[in-house]
Amino acid sequence: MKIGFIGLGIMGKPMSKNLVKAGYQLVVNDFNQPNVEELVALGATAAKSASEVASLCEVIITMLPNSPHVRAVALGEKGLHETAKPGSILIDMSSIDPTESKAIGAVLKEKGMRMLDAPVSGGEPKAIDGTLSVMVGGDKKDFDEFYELLKHMAGSVTYVGELGAGNIAKLANQIVVALNISAVAEALTFAQKAGASPELVYQAIRGGLAGSTVMDAKAPLMLDRKFDPGFRIELHIKDLNNALNAGHSAEAPLPLTAQAMEILQVLKADGCQRDDHGAIVKYYEKLSNITLKR
């Protein structure tokens, strides 16, 4: 099967490499020419535009920064809609506003094209080792048809409902992650400020109800002050902005999400937008006038 892959960034490049390793023929497109050349060296074919990808492939995967980029690739000049074959499918694995997923899918449907929204969770390390979590919205028949394809990039692939539900699930995930990281950072800075060892407090509580995957992933990095990006603050800002927009559209209040967004905005103003989101601890360090340490 020949697969189109548009978007070879920090996530898309390793994901596309995993498809090449699985034996798929890829047609790739991205503004970053060195990344395109890297995939071509592995056997992929380069395309100059999204419309060229659609002319060559009936299955197109996109992994793009945000809603406007997906709309431009799908419906803009030299977009997929210009040359897409009837019955072809867009599997958008970007994390975007679910209302946009529905709107883009509706236009593509008029042109005879199917769509799944299939955002991912796990960051670059899991993109590299092919163990991402994928949340998929769209027609269940389409999900079943492309389940095996998605599994070559993922540890879990879960169907969550109609088109747009994939991104609703992803935004729910990002809300929980942001609030969990904030709670861990607040708790550890509290522990140190109050005179206890934050590392020993972490070890004491991680096995109880407070323990979580997020805590185990981020607390050691906070204690070691390692903020190299696994998932950048600026990307989490993008996701929470989409969550707040979707929440407002659905009349679903998100007060804690709004507070987390303001914390991230403070960090962005301090020049930390390209740090890992574990750097939320810097906000609490600033408030408490301490530097977290083991």
Residues 167 and 171: their CA atoms lie apart, in Å, by 6
Determine whether 17 is an active site residue. no
Q: Which of 17, 170, 218, 238 is catalytic?
A: 170
How would you label 56-94 residue by residue, b for 16+ Cβ within 10 Å and e otherwise? bbbbbbbbbebbebbbebbbbebbbbbbbeeebbbbbbb
Residues 3 and 225: their CA atoms lie apart, in Å, by 40
Active centre residues (catalytic): 170
